[in-house]
């Protein structure tokens, strides 16, 4: 368990250094057997230690006395509804947050959109942070996807493990920045349905062989 907690802290600090969060922003969780390990509430990322990682059962009960992130309900709902997801990364990164405040989904402007499982990256509806309402809105926006923008808030990425979830959070931020500048230019071209379908097939075939 200590190794798992150390990996959470390592990746949380990595995202801090990448400018994806500030202070105690964002959160990371990992599902392991009958427990969820999640970053705590209100502790500065750079001060995080293994004993600060909260341990939760699937009924939402804290099993080690450490107060979890305010977005615990969001993480638990996704794990309950998306059995293939084993790690979740939530960030307040700049470009994803900007697009989320515009409440714009990221359309199929770049073929790497397909990495998230479809022909776009959606933006959830708005709700107050830490609420079941927000959790349900995010779950809906992530349907058949590995991430989404969270309205007036930030972004979330879902992975089969923590490495994939962290990678996708960085990929989403990169795509958000690129798409923002495309919106400024206005005359950019979107991929058509056949073009993005071909990419999605290639992604599926590639992953099935690895």
- Model confidence pLDDT, tens digit, residues 92-141: 999 999 999 999 999 999 999 999 999 999 999 999 999 999 999 999 99
> pLDDT-derived band of residue 204, with 50, 70 and 90 as boundaries?
confident
Residue 209 has pLDDT above 70, yes or no: no
Q: How far is CA 178 from the centre of its chain?
A: 18
pLDDT digits (tens, 9 = 90+) for 11-60: 999 999 999 999 999 999 999 999 999 999 989 998 999 999 999 999 99
CA distance linking residue 162 with residue 34, whole number of Å = 17
How far is residue 169's CA from residue 181's CA, in Å, rounded to a whole number? 19
- Written as six digits, the tokens of 137 are 């809105």
For position 207, what pLDDT does the model report?
Answer: 64
Residue 108: alpha-carbon gap to chain centroid = 19
Return the higher-pLDDT residue of 184 and 208. Answer: 184
Q: How many angstroms separate the CA atoms of 42 and 25, rounded?
A: 8
- Res. 208 pLDDT band, cuts 50 70 90: low
Can you name the CATH fold of 2-208?
Answer: L-fuculose-1-phosphate Aldolase (3.40.225)
Q: Among 6, 51, 55, 71, which one carries the catalytic annotation?
A: 71
25 catalytic? Reply is no
pLDDT higher than 80, residue 79: yes
- The neighbour count for residue 185, using CB atoms within 10 Å, is 7
Q: What is the pLDDT at residue 193?
A: 95
145 CB burial (10 A radius; 0-12, 13-18, 19+): middle
Write down the mean pLDDT value for the chain. Answer: 95
Angstrom CA distances, 132 to 11, 33, 57, 77, 127, stand at: 26, 24, 17, 9, 9
User: How do residues 129-185 score in pLDDT, each as one tens digit?
Assistant: 999 999 999 999 999 999 999 999 999 999 999 999 999 999 999 999 999 999 999
């Amino acid at each position: 368990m200590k190794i798992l907690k150390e990996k959470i802290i390592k990746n949380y600090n990595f995202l801090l250094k990448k400018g994806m969060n500030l202070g105690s922003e964002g959160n990371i969780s990992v599902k392991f057997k009958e427990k969820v390990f999640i970053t705590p509430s209100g502790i500065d990322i750079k001060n995080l230690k293994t004993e600060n990682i909260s341990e939760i059962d699937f009924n939402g009960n804290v099993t080690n006395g450490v107060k979890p992130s305010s977005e615990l309900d969001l993480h638990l709902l996704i794990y309950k509804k998306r059995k293939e997801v084993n790690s979740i990364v939530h960030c307040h990164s700049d470009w994803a947050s900007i697009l989320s405040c515009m409440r714009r989904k990221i359309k199929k402007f770049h073929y790497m959109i397909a990495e998230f499982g479809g022909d776009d990256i959606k933006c959830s509806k708005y709700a107050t942070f830490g609420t079941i309402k927000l959790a349900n809105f995010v779950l809906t926006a992530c349907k058949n996807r590995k991430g989404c923008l969270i309205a007036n808030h930030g972004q979330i990425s879902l992975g089969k493990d923590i490495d994939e979830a962290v990678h996708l959070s960085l990929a989403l931020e990169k795509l958000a920045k690129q798409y923002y500048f495309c919106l400024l230019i206005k005359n950019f071209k979107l991929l058509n349905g056949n073009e993005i379908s071909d990419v999605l097939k290639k992604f599926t075939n590639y992953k099935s062989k690895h």
